[in-house]
Amino acid sequence: MGLNSPELNLDLSTFYVPKTISEFLTELSVIDDISEKSLKLNDYVHMLEDEMRKINGFKPQLPLCMLLLNDAIMRLKEETMHYKERDFRPVMEEFISLKGNSDEDGRTKMSSDCSDKKNWMNIAQLWSTNINRVTTKDSVLDIKARDEEENHSAIKNSFQLCSIGNKGGAFVPFRGQPSLATKEEKVVLPIHGPSIRAPVAEMGFTDLNLEGNAKIGCAPSLVTDQMMSEGKSEHQQQKKQRRCWSPELHGLFVNAIQQLGGARAIPKQIRELMQVDGLTNDEVKSHLQRYKLHIQKLPASSAYPSNGSWLARDQYGNVSMANIGHSCSPQAGSGKWVSITGCDSMEEEEDEKSESHSWKVQLH
DNA sequence: CTTCTAATAT
DNA sequence: CATATTAGAA
């Protein structure tokens, strides 16, 4: 379903100064023209969604922000739907593409039951904004997309919103901690055959499970039986599946690095902080290596004092926030690494051209 | 063929 | 854990 295009539509100089939702609604209520109402609503929602995308990479640090934004968006969309109901549909029908039973029977009871669902779906779009590199070449991938009607309230330090994007977590952690395997982890483990190591299944999209553990990985290439039964014996598949460092994953990584005080962070700590399950120390280590190489390669224009510490060796937590703010300014320097999800320049992730983009957002 | 990146070896 | 080397893909 078409993710609403950012702002190529209705950019007619309606340039909002940020208002609170209440103010906005009040203001909206004095407008007579339905289509104008819708227009403004639409615009506002877009702004919110845009905002959401910006902080998308920082979910772990800003769970409440996500929550608030979500809430606002939901609310406004409901509002929009109300207009839509009691009126011929305005200009924008591309806007909300509710699937299914919206037009027919949902009319009256929409606000209660149905809208919830739709809202959830809208959110789901936002959360998994991208990278569905469905590299399911041979993927068997029997995932059961169990949509959770029960929204568990936050467990641990989690942000339960993240569970929404759940497209089914068929992910076999390399050395999954048993404690993590909740009821949701419905994984088909094709352990036929003698001695093959645990098949590595990874997914092509970000998936955050209920614990708030981000499960971010790569294409699902379930090792099927043909692998061993056919000519090639049990050697050969020794090499591990390549971990794909998606922008989200990298975002988490960078965040962790920052919270740990920069490049000298220890891989183990990074991994723990990222809370990505299935991620191994080695992978983090390797990635860190590349990271270090890159940051020393590009001096980052030394916008900051002394040894080009593109990272304020600051206290925990606030670093990322500060960098978010900064990352949106076109200026170079420290923002380079953080801006992978940050800047307004990035509309939404393209399909596939984003392989290495995050490392050199600018320059070149 | 070169470069880039993740895996693996030291 | 850090660094070096190797393997694979673009």
Which 3-state string (H, E, C) describes A64-84?
HHHHHHHHHHHHHHHHHHHHH
Q: Which residue is nearest to nucleotide B5 (CA to C1')?
A: A290
Q: How far apart are the first and last CA of chain A?
A: 35
Q: Protein A182 CA to nucleic acid C9 C1', in Å?
A: 35
- The answer to whether the CB of A250 falls within 8 A of the CB of A218 is no
pLDDT of residue A350: 41
* pLDDT at A22 > cutoff 80: no
Cβ neighbours of A256 (radius 10 Å): 22
- The answer to whether the CB of A259 falls within 8 A of the CB of A316 is yes
* pLDDT at A219 > cutoff 70: no
Highest mean pLDDT among A137-146, A214-223, A312-321: A214-223
pLDDT of residue A57: 65
Q: Which nucleotides of C are covered by protein (CB under 7 A)?
A: 1-5, 7-10
Closest nucleotide to A284, Cα to C1': B6
* pLDDT at A293 > cutoff 80: yes
Phi and psi of A19, rounded to 5°? -125, 170
What protein residues sit with their CB closer than 7 Å to strand C? A 239, 242, 264, 266-269, 281, 285-286, 288-289, 292, 355
Closest residue by Cα to residue A69 from A48, A45, A44, A40: A48
Q: What is the pLDDT of residues A224-251, one digit of tens each?
A: 444 444 444 444 456 778 888 887 788 8
Q: What is the pLDDT of residues A165-200, one digit of tens each?
A: 333 333 333 333 333 333 333 333 333 333 333 333
The whole model's pTM is what? 0.41
Rounded to whole angstroms, how far apart are CA atoms A102 and A215?
33
Calculate what percentage of chain A has a pLDDT beyond 90. 0
Region A277-298: mean pLDDT is 84
